[in-house]
Amino acid sequence: MPADYHIEHAKSSKSSCKKCKEKIQKDEIRIGISSMKGDIKITGWNHPSCFTIPRTIKVSAEEFVNEYLEDQTADGILDDPDFKQRLVIQISSTPKKKEEKHDNPIANRIASYKTAFEELPDEDEDDDEETRRPTKKAKKGGDPKILNAAAKAYGIYHKMKNPELQDVLRWNVGYGMTGTKDALLLRCIDGHVNGRLARCPMCFRGKLQLADKDAGQTVACGGYFDEEISARIPCTYVAKNERAPRLQPWYAEKPTEEQTEEIKKITEEHEAKASGGGGGGSGGAPVELLKLANDLDWPDISTMAGKKEAANLMAELCTSGDVTVDLPQDEKKARMACGKIIVGHPEASASQILELIVKEYGVSSNKLALADKQKDAIAESCNCPANAGIMQAFLELGNLYLKEGNANAAGAYKRAATAIMGLDFEITADNAKGLCKGKTKVANIGKGSADKMYEFFTTGTIEKLEEKRTLSK
């Protein structure tokens, strides 16, 4: 079905011109192009100066206005001969091409690497650090070593097509494989120069990504999907590129099977440590605990009596001594936690059961170290690093509510944490309660959040957080 064309005054300022993409202001003249898609009528809008007559309509601009354009204005604007003549001139004029904007940060960054690559000395030239000719960017104050390294990496990857760049990213794990060629090229160069991106140091499970808005000068985490609760857990981590955690090695050519296994092993070990497991043994259990587990007089766990005895032995092993597992503090709940894993693996040895318990609950000393590491990562993301502690508490509280299935409460604490991240002043016991009211009100911080901030700074903790921690074990 052919399209219909009409002219009218814009009823609001919500529509945009399909050609120039700019807003059409209320009461401004616009040309509508309406067509049917199934049973639905779809209308697009153009400024008169942006409108072009479709090639399928082989008429002059004047004939188009007279024969095809329906006047839907209240004052019959096409009855005005002067306006009609101006409209014909606008439509018949060749539309001006929109000025090309060089506002794509990734394209600009790749262009700078290309320039630096073209200025690199030939291989047969003297490559001494002191005599090497600096690039233009280096002369302007950039780091010549970093730029030269990126330029050399550009020389390796710039002739590759998208599928080839995606293969490189796939081999090295950790980078997204969608986007334009410039985006893929930037990720390959970044990994080649700095090493592949590791897991997020704030949420410990999200994949870090180069930020498109500044062409990878910062690195951010978009969160992760928690299969246990079937929900996406957001993360607000943002850091400068040079502060992002990295893993080595990086392969520019397809790795061998042995090298692929090495990448997999390094990645798994890093993720185990990042999530609170790990400590020295195979699978992550600390060596000290593994030795004790191997020395246990392990009962036959195919029987009920054997399962109970094994649960008691394992709970005692995991909660006493210098190295402990982060099981529930209540002795009965700790035995039940061990018993649940033992029942699910009736043929496992003591060391295998220990590995499974450590994987599920983590090592206490590791978790304390991780909490400190997470706080440092949060401090990097905060406008005021001193607010990292309270932001960390709110993020944890939000995650605990989310695991309970209370998305509303979780969202409230996540939004408050994001608001805290954006503050450029330190929150204290003196100003905490004022963040929810009056002239000092901060968006997304309500009375409940402000009261918990005051509690945190006056007592060192939040009662509700301690309660949720206990219930989650």
pLDDT, average across residues 125-135:
45
Strand-pairing partners, residue 42, are 35
| pLDDT classification of 272: cutoffs 50, 70, 90 | low
For residue 99, pLDDT over 60 is answered with no
Query: Tokens for 209?
Result: 């990504």
**Cβ of 22: how many Cβ atoms within 10 Å?**
11
For residue 467, pLDDT over 70 is answered with yes
Report the percentage of the chain scoring pLDDT > 90. 42
- Looking at this protein, which amino acid is placed at residue 146? I
Bridge-based pairing state of the strands 224-226 and 40-46: unpaired
For residue 174, pLDDT over 60 is answered with yes
DSSP letters for 339-355: HHHHHH-TT--HHHHHH
Angle subtended by helix axes 287-294 and 350-361, to nearest 10:
150
| pLDDT classification of 394: cutoffs 50, 70, 90 | very high
Q: How far is CA 304 from CA 352, 355, 436, in A?
A: 19, 22, 56
For residue 152, pLDDT over 70 is answered with yes
Q: Comparing C-alpha atoms, which of 29, 49, 26 is closest to residue 97? A: 49
Q: How would you class 126 by CB atoms within 10 Å of its CB: exposed for 0-12, middle for 13-18, buried for 19 or more?
A: exposed
CA distance 426 to 424: 7
SS3 label, residue 370: helix
Strand-pairing partners, residue 8, are 30
Bridge-based pairing state of the strands 231-233 and 224-226: antiparallel
Instruction: Calculate the average pLDDT of the chain.
Output: 85
Q: For residues 276 and 288, is the Cβ–Cβ distance under 8 A?
A: no
pLDDT, average across residues 435-442:
93
Residue 151 pLDDT: 93
Residue 125 pLDDT: 46
For residue 473, pLDDT over 70 is answered with no
SS3 label, residue 254: coil
For residue 387, pLDDT over 90 is answered with yes
| Strand locations in 87-214 (E) | 196-197, 208-210
Residue 130 pLDDT: 42
DSSP letters for 267-311: HHHHHHHHTT--SBSGGG-BHHHHHHHHTS----TTSHHHHHHHH
pLDDT, average across residues 166-184:
90
| pLDDT classification of 368: cutoffs 50, 70, 90 | low
| pLDDT classification of 278: cutoffs 50, 70, 90 | very low
Bridge-based pairing state of the strands 4-9 and 69-71: parallel
- pLDDT, tens digit, for every residue of 279-301? 433 346 788 888 899 999 999 99
- pLDDT, tens digit, for every residue of 305-361? 999 999 999 999 988 877 788 888 788 888 999 999 999 999 899 999 998 998 888
pLDDT, average across residues 127-148:
55
Among 89-98, 408-417, 453-462, the range scoring the smallest mean pLDDT is 89-98
pTM of the model: 0.56
Bridge-based pairing state of the strands 238-240 and 29-37: unpaired
Compute the 3-state secondary structure of the chain and give helix, strand, coil in percent, each to the nearest 5.
50, 10, 40
Residue 135 pLDDT: 47
Q: Comparing C-alpha atoms, which of 311, 332, 395, 321 is closest to residue 365? A: 321
Among 87-96, 142-151, 459-468, the range scoring the smallest mean pLDDT is 87-96
Q: For residues 5 and 69, is the Cβ–Cβ distance under 8 A?
A: yes
**Cβ of 322: how many Cβ atoms within 10 Å?**
7
Residue 384 pLDDT: 93
Residue 224 pLDDT: 83
* Displacement of CA 193 from its chain's centroid (Å): 21
Planar angle of CA 364, 369, 374, nearest 5 degrees: 120
SS3 label, residue 121: coil
- Give the DSSP letter of residue 246: E
Residue 128 pLDDT: 47
CA distance 163 to 189: 16
For residue 21, pLDDT over 90 is answered with no
* Displacement of CA 132 from its chain's centroid (Å): 39
Residue 162 pLDDT: 94
CA distance 207 to 114: 28
For residue 223, pLDDT over 90 is answered with no
| pLDDT classification of 40: cutoffs 50, 70, 90 | confident
